Structure 1
Amino acid sequence: MDWKKRQQSDPYVKRAREAGYRARAAFKLLELDEKDRLFRPGQFVVDLGAAPGSWCQVALEKVGPRGRVVALDILPMDPIEGVVFIEGDFREDEPLAALEDAMGGRRADLVLSDMAPNISGIGPADQARSMHLAELAAAFADDWLDDAGTFVVKVFQGEGFDAFLAELKQKYAVVRIRKPRASRAESREVYIVAGRPRR
Structure 2
Amino acid sequence: MPNTKVGMYDVDDSSAKDISSFPYLNPNEFSVACSAFLPRLHQSQLQAKLIYNESKIIVGIELVTWKVCDRAEITTVAHILLSPVYLLPTLYFTCTSTNDNGEYHPITLVSEVYEATSMTENIKSMMKAPSMLQFSSSGTISQCQHPLHDTVCFYVHPCHTGDVMSTINEDPEADSIGLDSYLAIWIGIVGGAVGITLKG
TM over 0.5: no
Which structure shows the higher strand fraction? Answer: 2
Q: Higher helix proportion, which one?
A: 1
Quick one: higher RCO (CA 8 Å, sep 6+), 1 or 2? Answer: 2
Q: Work out which of the two has the higher radius of gyration on C-alpha atoms and give 1 or 2.
A: 2
